Structure 1
Amino acid sequence: MLEVEHRPSDSPYVERVWRGRTALAGHMTSVATSNWELTVWTHHGRVHVAARGPETAASVAEVPENSDSFGISFSHGTSMPHLPLSRLVDTQLDSPHVSARTFALRGEEWPLPHYDNAEQFVARLVRAGVLVHDPLVAETVAGETPQVGARSVQRRVAATTGLTRGAIQRIERARQAAILLGEGMAPLDVTHRLGYFDQPHLARSLRRFIGRTATRLRRGDTAEPLSLLYKTTS
């Protein structure tokens, strides 16, 4: 069984903070996400840390038994200058040195963050120049019209997210569709509300990005849990 707790953040660098625990081994469907994250997990007494990039398609992930995990999901526009996000898309980079209390990042030793001090940890990374934030990217992804040229916007979005603006929009729309279907909304209503061409278009998007059909999402199929989905304020 997978138990997950999550919360939003008031930091412009952070999208969401989450933590989870599993008792039994199994599998989960890791849905597509346009955000990257720093993840810490403990299994059999050993601590692991990794930077996980955006995921452009749903996949099946193993869930180890008796494991604890924690993650900081970063906002659009937040990036690490020393590690281009394009290198992290659909993959992860493990920290080369991790102990019970510290891990290595950018060749330096940092204390392990946890659920309750995530924002303080991020602020420390910002002060050290490990993390930077481009507010134009966040505004553009949120649908605002930038005051710079289209090419500049494309370049800055790609540099800080590893994705194109179109890819981000397609992923976020599919995630929103999954939430609405899970709440019981009819597929035809979801199609119209989110601007899909038709129901087959919605179905293809769900298969690619969520790994579920509309029927399974409405039924609340729990045989194989989904990774974190949540409503946003936008």
Structure 2
Amino acid sequence: MRSYAETPPAGPLRAVVEVAWRAHAGTAPHTQRVLPDGCMDLLLAGDDVLVAGPDTTAHLAGSPAGGVATGLRFRPGALPALLGVPADALRDRRVPLSDVLDPGRRRLLRSAPSGSGDGTGDAAWLARLALALHAAAGDDRTTAPLPHPALRALAGGMAAAELADRLGVTGRTLHRRCVATLGYGPAVARRVLRFRAAAALLYDGLAPAAVAARTGYADQPHLSREVRALAGVSPASLAPRTGSPDLAAAAGSARSGEGVRGQVQANRSSDEPSGSATVA
């Protein structure tokens, strides 16, 4: 049986990590739809450590029967500084971490994961790796994530020029910073973060017309076009559905991350379309 669980980060990781997650594919191969949410992940499957870059559209991720994957979902804009690589270089990509890091950071990968083959201990190993990367990261202001209020402003539809003025920077500086930390400019960031907020409300059962009004879409057709463009499914597919085992489990146990609630709160590892509602 497929399973998914999340664990809040502890200690210094709380500043950069939203959640640690672990997914088990169950007894049959499984494909999950991963939705864009502004986040990047470090994930471990077997002995392979991958970086999941920022997505601009849905990504279909396959898992073999019995497959176990463990990951850390980083807050929007937080991971590039730890990697020493701008986010746009990883946009819409899954890349081995060893191919991304410079030689100084790459040495941090030399210790083997401490898992037992079923994923046990992998989250702790990833946490130690993230802490080491955090400690090794320099103070590069070009890859410093945008402040949380700025991300919320983008999610709310604020124009780039107005946000730049509030941050006391030029429009070009804001654009460069968004590209370096989020993987795309303010216009795409606005779409992705607003979509994430809308997906959370759709799961909660709010009618699409009300979701459109609350999240700044022009109307319900505008919401539908954006959901299809970014998720590859209709808004109805993101709502809880009676009779679906995964979605029923989601409605009954939001913390488990199973089904759509996991989709909305846990981008890279849910059983259906996924995303994170943390910023918006």
State the TM bucket, normalised to the shorter chain.
Answer: 0.7 to 0.9
Give 1:170's aligned residue: 191
Per-residue CA shift, 1:141-172, capped at 9, x if unaligned?
Answer: 23273132222222112112211122122112
Q: CA, structure 1 residues 199+66, in 2 after alignment: closer, same or farther (shift >3 Å)?
A: same
TM-score, normalised relative to structure 2: 0.69
CA distance in 2, matches of 1:38, 1:172: 20
More helix by share: 2
CA distance in 2, matches of 1:95, 1:217: 31
Q: What's the C-alpha RMSD, in Å, of the aligned pairs?
A: 2.9
Q: CA deviation at 1:123?
A: 2.5
Q: CA deviation at 1:228?
A: 3.6
Q: CA deviation at 1:127?
A: 1.6
CA contact (8 A) 1:139 1:146 kept: no
Letter matched to residue 90 of structure 1: D
Give 2:170's aligned residue: 149
The counterpart of 1:21, out of the listed 20, 24, 37, is 24
CA distance in 2, matches of 1:84, 1:180: 31
SS in 2 for 1:229: coil
Q: CA deviation at 1:29?
A: 1.2
Is 2:153 aligned against 1:128?
A: no
TM-score, normalised relative to structure 1: 0.81
Q: CA deviation at 1:193?
A: 0.7
Give 1:92's aligned residue: 94
Per-residue CA shift, 1:118-159, capped at 9, x if unaligned?
Answer: 554322212222796615454422327313222222211211
Is 2:150 aligned against 1:140?
A: yes
CA distance in 1, matches of 2:96, 2:128: 22
The counterpart of 1:213, out of the listed 234, 237, 242, is 234
Give 2:43's aligned residue: 39
Q: CA, structure 1 residues 181+51, in 2 after alignment: closer, same or farther (shift >3 Å)?
A: same
CA contact (8 A) 2:25 2:63 kept: yes
Aligned length: 224
Unaligned ranges ≥5, structure 2: 114-120, 154-162, 248-258, 260-270
Give 1:100's aligned residue: none
Per-residue CA shift, 1:175-234, capped at 9, x if unaligned?
Answer: 222221122111111111111111111111111222221223224355993254343265
Letter matched to residue 17 of structure 1: A
Give 2:65's aligned residue: 65
CA distance in 2, matches of 1:175, 1:63: 24
CA contact (8 A) 1:22 1:68 kept: yes
Unaligned ranges ≥5, structure 1: 98-103
CA distance in 2, matches of 1:30, 1:233: 17
Query: Which deviates further from its counterpart, 133-142 or 164-173?
Result: 133-142
Is 2:188 aligned against 1:186?
A: no
Q: CA, structure 1 residues 119+165, in 2 after alignment: closer, same or farther (shift >3 Å)?
A: farther
Q: CA deviation at 1:82?
A: 3.6
CA distance in 1, matches of 2:75, 2:6: 15
